Structure 1
Amino acid sequence: MQLRRAQGFTLIELIMVMVVMAIITIGIGRFVSLGTEGYLQTRDREQLQSQARFAVERVARELRNAVPNSLKITNNGQCLSFKPIQFSGDYSNQSLTDITAIIGYVTQTATPVFQPQMRLVINPHKAQDFDVASDQVATVTAINKGAVANQWQFELDGQHSFDSGSLAQRFYTYTHSVTFCIEGNSLTHTTIDNAGSQSQPVLIAQYIDSSLSMFSIDNAALARSALVAWQFTFTRNGESSRYNHTVQVMNAP
């Protein structure tokens, strides 16, 4: 009687199969790893650029509503401050000497509403024109309807004489100032009301390189309005995005 020989794999065959499977597994794992890394890098890059675009647009949008010549750079170009317009319009006063109210028409369609610490400025040309002691600014105590349609009367805190008038007879009111600051690796937004109370900084953007980012101002001239420029460099995980932006503040005194 002939014995049947047992069927199976030899040890060498098993080892060869294990080696081949290991090579295949490593190859697949590396392929998946590269795909995952590529996805994460693309996601981080898109988040960084999206954040950068938002920061640039936020600063530009708020700057377009700045009271003329209220722009100020501090902290070696790391901070930009300005006073946003609350109401603006054309005054009809024949004289700006010893008056108790500014009478005029506002450009906004909404009814002007009085707010505490509201100030009114006429023909500002420098930062000192916004000081409380300046003859170009006065505190508003109430807003009343004028004698004719769409006319408003901005009551002042006593008798006031403005040092100079506006060629276009413009006036502006404001209640606070806004400051954008590059602090560490962040861009923040802060408001300070006319009474001096400061809000908590609001985070606008992260991953900003403060050594490569700054604000600058080219002040207004007779031929054009003020130009505000800023350079923002965002860096994250080896990715770097640089943004150079310039905004012309169209509002004129």
Structure 2
Amino acid sequence: MKARGFTLLELVIVLVLIGIGAVFGTRFIADMATSYVGTAERGQALAGARFAMERIRRELGLAYSPSVYIGSYDGAANRCVSFVPVLASGKYLGQVTDGTAQFIVPLILQEDIIDGVNLAVRADSGEAVWQDYPEVLPDNVAALKDQSSAQAVLLFSDAFASGVSFDWEGQGNRYVLLYRYQVRFCLDDDGNLWREIKEGTSDWSDKTLMLTNIKSGPLFSDYDESLQLLWMTLSMPTREGELVLPSQVQVIYEP
């Protein structure tokens, strides 16, 4: 008995079935690959966004709360949050308004030589007050004279140059030592988040790129001075849709 082979029709049917299987198999693999890439991209975007937001949160946690303000960037509103970092805070005896104050140096600084800082006593808040810092000092903020030796107590006459005066006392006789620079985080029109520093009379410089691929638009929506609470919303486009991360950042430093 002779073996029966495949007919042409049967071969055509087999090839068609193989082709259909290959098409669906390739599409399935492609969909799986796209899904994997999209998930990985979203995870990477989420990790970067969380890092940037945590960096902002940590630095604002050591900011002088009256110095925090929301500003514009290249003419676009609500693109920046600016603030002045705090070195330390302490209490004073006597009164600053009549020049009899004696400043108790914070314990962590009593063995150090204090230099390159300003001293604030219940300063005013707002962009108009702080936008030109440290070139222009707000009321009740004065340049502390560089000390030549470590001290536990600073007399008013040893702390400031002649002619320095304060208009009001601090709550609970508290004072704050401020660094002589501003820090800000800004979003540009290309979706890049930058950290910048302003020192002396120079403009904003020392730029550090924090995050890319952010949806352009207002980043910082509001800052409530009474609650010391900053609202921000970070949006990033991904393959799987827009990633939106709203956040409330507390300026928790209490001098």
TM-score interval, smaller chain: 0.7 to 0.9
1:40 equivalent to 2:37? Answer yes
Once the 2 structures are TM-superposed, how far is the Cα of residue 66 of structure 1 from its aligned partner? 0.8
**Structure with max Cα Rg:** 1
* Residues 112 and 249 (structure 1), Cα distance of their counterparts in 2 relative to 1, 3 Å cut: farther
Residue of structure 1 in register with 2:164 after alignment = 160
Structure 1 residue 70: Cα displacement = 0.3
- Cα deviation for residue 29 of structure 1 reads 1.3
**CA distance 1:39–1:140, shift in 2 (3 Å):** same
The Cα shift of 1:19 comes to 2.0
**Structure 2 match to 1:206:** 212
Query: What code does the residue aligned with 2:57 have?
Result: A
**Change beyond 3 A, Cα 1:157–1:235:** farther
TM-score, normalization: structure 2?
0.79
Whether 1:219 and 2:207 are equivalent positions in the alignment is: no
- Whole-angstrom distance in 1 between the partners of 2:184 and 2:223: 14
1:81–1:177: 8 Å Cα contact kept in structure 2? yes
2:28 to 6, 28, 31: 31
Give SS of 2:187's match: strand
1:55 is matched with 52
1:246 equivalent to 2:244? Answer no
Q: Give the corresponding residue for 1:132.
A: 136
1:14-67 CA distance string (max 9 Å, x none)? 433322222222222122111111111111111122222222222111111111
CA distance in 1, matches of 2:111, 2:233: 38
1:17-166 counterparts in 2 under 5 A?
A: 17-75=14-72, 76-98=77-99, 103-106=103-106, 108=108, 111-116=111-116, 118-127=117-126, 128=129, 132=136, 134-143=138-147, 144-146=149-151, 150-151=152-153, 155-166=159-170
* Counterpart amino acid of residue 123 in structure 2: P
Query: Residue 235 of structure 1 aligns to which amino acid in structure 2?
Result: P
> Which string of whole-angstrom CA distances, capped at 9 and with x for unpartnered residues, describes residues 100-148 of structure 1?
x9632216468445444x22211112242767354411112313333xx
Give the partner amino acid of 1:179.
R
Partner of 2:174: 170
Unmatched 5+ residue regions in structure 2?
Answer: none
- In the alignment, what sits opposite 1:236? 238
Which amino acid counterpart does residue 103 of structure 2 have in structure 1? I
Paired letter, 2:229: L
CA contact (8 A) 2:233 2:245 kept: yes
Separation (CA, whole Å) in 1 of partners of 2:111 and 2:28: 64
Does the aligned pair in 2 maintain the 1:228–1:246 contact within 8 Å? yes
Task: For 1:62, give the aligned amino acid.
Answer: E
Q: Give the superposed CA RMSD.
A: 3.0
Give the letter for the 1:33 counterpart. A
Change (3 A) 1:230 1:133: closer
| In the alignment, structure 1 residue 182 sits paired with structure 2 residue 179 | no
Percent of aligned positions with the same letter in both sequences?
Answer: 25
Matched residue type, 1:37: T
Q: For the Cα contact (< 8 Å) 2:80–2:219, is it kept in 1?
A: no
CA separation in 1, counterparts of 2:32 and 2:144? 63
Question: What is the DSSP-based 3-state SS (H/G/I as helix, E as strand, rest coil) of the residue aligned with 1:30?
Answer: helix
User: In the aligned structure 2, how far is the partner of 1:89 from the partner of 1:196?
Assistant: 30
